Amino acid sequence: MNLSTAVGSVELPNPVMTASGTIGHGTEVSEYLDLSALGAVVVKSLSAEPWAGNPPPRLHKTAAGMLNSVGLQNPGVEAWVEHDLPALEARGARVVASIWGFSVEAYAKAASMLDEVADRLVAVEVNLSCPNVEARRDMFAHSPSATREVVDAARGCRRPRWAKLSPNVTDITAIAAAALDGGAEALTLVNTVMGMAIDLDRRRPSLGAGGGGLSGAAIRPVAVRAVYDCRQAFPDASIVGVGGVGSGEDAIELLMAGADAVQVGTATFFAPQTPLRVIRQLERWCRRHGVARVRDLRGAAHGQ
Ligand SMILES: Cc1cc2nc3c(=O)[nH]c(=O)nc-3n(C[C@H](O)[C@H](O)[C@H](O)COP(=O)(O)O)c2cc1C
């Protein structure tokens, strides 16, 4: 059974990674999860400077997932390189750093700060779901031109860039085209879906920031659709599917829609070992269905 896959030029031993922001910046969950057994570990998004994030409460459980408004809290690239990266390496993790910024220059700075550790990273994921302070705080990921500019500006990291896109757009293929044009080697699809919950007693939004991002099982069909549409539009692009994966079959659904690999996020909040269980279930499904190489599932739902 061959579980190996490739995301652009990056070869991975299996197609299951953690999703950014859901297992912390370093080895927070390594007591429960063997990080070296994963395809790769994507860490929580980092900015050039430390950032405190949003006021509490930041998490709210929903019927089939959760809302979060963590607000990209992080220690900054420098502290992460000093403390977290060595700890991840000591656990044998293949590390994907994720970056964000409030301006194109801020992304460029975060990317260039990773240049000195480029050979210790397998890739850099560029999280485009951030407010652009130079465009009335509209998200970079909502604009093709801003997306192209940011992905291009991040080239200073000297690693393959994966563009992580938002599903909160009219036509995700237009944004994906811009990301690829800006130099992205892969598309990571998708970030959270905009949402909100109201606390009836307080008669106010439940989350401290008001709105938040919906994730978990509830958004899996949204992710499947985004992956399917982008695979159809860009047959040769590398795609990482993320959204509501909690089992091997969920992962296979995204692979068949067109993903080369998947990420597991919210499901790890309920059971930190979930990504490893997904790998085991994926392998078992392939054996049972006579699939010798997991790569052969890529895009299977599109027919010939
Ligand atoms: C608490 C929390 C924090 C997150 N932080 C980030 C982040 O820092 N950067 C990012 O690109 N995505 C972040 N995400 C989005 C996830 O990486 C993922 O795209 C999304 O949750 C959908 O996958 P899931 O349903 O498996 O969680 C976060 C999600 C959650 C639930």
- Asked whether 7 and 14 are in contact (CB, 8 A), the reply is no
- Measured over the CA atoms of residue 270, residue 275, residue 23 and residue 6, the dihedral's sign is negative
Residue nearest to atom 19 of ligand 1 (CA): 191
pLDDT of residue 304: 66
Give, using CA atoms, the residue closest to atom 31 of ligand 1. 266
Q: What three-state secondary structure class fits 96?
A: strand
**Centre of ligand 1 from the C-alpha of residue 266, in Å:** 7
Q: Which residues of 85-105 are buried (b: 16+ CB within 10 A; e: fewer)?
A: beebeebebbbbbbbbbbbbe
| Residue 288's CATH number | 3.20.20.70
Check: CB of residue 91 under 8 Å from CB of residue 36. yes
5 lines ligand 1 (CB under 6 A): no
Tokens representing 268 are: 């790890």
Output the CA–CA distances (angstroms, integers) from residue 73 to 21, 99, 130, 136, 164, in the order listed: 9, 12, 12, 21, 18
Question: For the chain, what percentages of helix, strand and coil (3-state, to nearest 5) are there?
Answer: 40, 20, 40
Measured in Å, residue 5 CA sits from the centre of ligand 1 at 22
Question: Pocket of ligand 1, candidates 266, 269, 274: which has the most ligand atoms within 8 Å of its Cβ, to mutate?
Answer: 266
Core vs surface per residue 14-30: b (16+ CB within 10 A) or e: bbbbbbbbbbebbbebb
Within 13 Å, how many C-alpha atoms sit on residue 249's CB side?
A: 3
pLDDT at 24: 85
* CA–centroid distance, residue 21 to ligand 1 (Å): 5
275 lines ligand 1 (CB under 6 A): no
Catalytic residue ranges: 130
Measured between alpha carbons, how far is 13 from 90 in angstroms, rounded to an integer? 18
Query: In this predicted structure, what is the pLDDT of residue 134?
Result: 83
Q: Is 223 exposed, middle or buried (0-12, 13-18, 19+ CB in 10 A)?
A: buried
With a 6 Å cutoff on the Cβ, whether 19 touches ligand 1 is yes
Q: Would you say the CB of residue 219 lies under 6 angstroms from ligand 1? A: yes
Number of domains the chain is built from: 1
Q: Ligand 1 centroid vs 287 CA: distance in angstroms?
A: 31
User: By residue range, what is the domain housing residue 176?
Assistant: 5-302
Separation CA 175–CA 194 (nearest Å): 17
Q: Which atom of ligand 1 is found nearest the CA of 245?
A: 26
Comparing CA positions, the residue from 26, 39, 21 lying closest to residue 94 is 39
> In tens digits, what is the pLDDT along the chain, a chain of 304 residues?
899 999 999 999 999 999 999 988 888 888 889 999 999 999 999 999 999 989 999 999 999 999 999 989 999 999 999 999 999 999 999 999 999 999 999 999 999 999 999 999 999 999 999 988 887 778 999 999 999 999 999 999 999 999 999 999 999 999 999 999 999 999 999 999 999 999 999 999 999 999 999 999 999 999 999 999 999 999 999 999 999 999 999 999 999 999 999 999 999 999 999 999 999 999 999 999 999 999 999 999 998 6
Residue 240 CA to residue 33 CA, distance in Å, equals 21
Which of 133, 81, 138 is closest to 104 using CA atoms?
Answer: 133
238 and 264 Cβ atoms separated by less than 8 Å: no
How far apart (Å, rounded) are the C-alpha atoms in residues 258 and 130? 26
Which atom of ligand 1 is closest in space to residue 190's alpha carbon?
Answer: 19
Taking CA atoms only, the protein residue closest to ligand 1 atom 15 is 191
Tokens, residue 35: 């990080």
Q: State if residue 220 touches ligand 1 by the CB under 6 angstroms criterion.
A: no
Give the number of the atom of ligand 1 that is nearest the alpha carbon of residue 219: 25
